[in-house]
Structure 1
Amino acid sequence: MNDDRRAQAADALTGRRVLVVEDDPFISSALEDMLTEHGCVVIGSARTVARALHLAASEQIDVALLDVSVGPERVDPVAELLAGRDCPFIFTTGYGRAGLPEAHASRAMVEKPFYCDEVIDALRSALRRSSREA
């Protein structure tokens, strides 16, 4: 990401509280580092649906990144909870759009493997849409 785009993304993301739901520790760590570098506050990185539900219910979240499959479980209950709170979220998946929860098939998605720019652009878009709808 060039310096101009990094500054623009950081401005839009600075201080934003992000929930990361990802069971792969390497991907989770990379996402946390990338988000922190862009000014986000990672409120938690959940590797189970139970932990994600706890964080989603108890923390103030501006936006979330949700892996569709977290271990043997699907992230659908977390998506439902966030949708009920009007909290924007983006799916991350290696299964394509066909793998998204049916109720949220039109939601933003970043397909694995992904580049930093794709995730940052998706976060910025989700936050812009959310602020327009508010």
Structure 2
Amino acid sequence: MATRLRCLVVEDEAMIADMLEEFLNEIGHEVVASAATFPSAVILARESECDVAILDINLNGEPSYAIGDILRERDIPFMFATGYGAGDLPGRFAAVPVLTKPYQIGVLSKAIENSARAAGGPPAA
């Protein structure tokens, strides 16, 4: 079984956040914090004890790039998520994985495993 990771979810659509949490639990991970707004996401990015984060690129019209910057400063791996296509990410995020919505559980599982491994986290068993 893969290592159980603590996840931060940043998603402004409640139904999508619920589905993502269900998928994460199903593949053996735990959602330790969740935010639906930019201000709450900033606080959680600074303070939450998580191993990996999934950030909706567009939070009620505001890009989540600053949240990615905070997570990067803390050496917490993260990925962006979008229903609109990856588009043009700022160059500093060129290597950050982008998940497309609707989520596919297998793709989500692999992306989290790869992010944790790339960050030097424990390898999946």
The alignment's TM-score, normalised by the length of structure 2, stands at 0.88
CA separation in 2, counterparts of 1:87 and 1:118? 20
Query: Which residue of 101, 106, 121 corresponds with 1:112?
Result: 101
Q: CA deviation at 1:114?
A: 2.6
CA separation in 2, counterparts of 1:36 and 1:83? 24
Please say if residues 90 and 110 of structure 1, whose CA atoms lie closer than 8 Å, have aligned partners that are also in contact.
yes
Please say if residues 68 and 99 of structure 1, whose CA atoms lie closer than 8 Å, have aligned partners that are also in contact.
no
Partner of 2:56: 67
CA separation in 2, counterparts of 1:124 and 1:54? 25
- Tell whether 2:71 aligns with 1:86: no
Q: Structure 2: which 5+ residue stretches go unaligned?
A: none
CA separation in 2, counterparts of 1:13 and 1:68? 26
Q: How many residues align?
A: 121
- Tell whether 2:10 aligns with 1:21: yes
Q: Describe the superposition over 1:60-119 as per-residue Cα deviations: whole angstroms up to 9, x where unpaired.
A: 110000100011211011000001111100111123232434421321111122311111
DSSP 3-state at the match of 2:111: helix
CA separation in 2, counterparts of 1:28 and 1:124? 20
Larger deviation, residues 116-125 vs 95-104: 95-104
Q: Structure 1: which 5+ residue stretches go unaligned?
A: 1-10
What amino acid sits opposite 1:12 in the alignment?
A
DSSP 3-state at the match of 2:49: coil
Task: Provide closer, same or farther for how the CA distance between residues 55 and 43 of structure 1 changes in structure 2, counting only shifts above 3 A.
Answer: same
* CA RMSD in angstroms, aligned pairs only: 1.5
Runs of 4+ in 1 over 6 A off after TM superposition: none
Query: Which residue of 45, 68, 80 corresponds with 1:56?
Result: 45
Higher relative contact order (CA 8 A, sep 6+): 2
| Identical positions, percent | 36
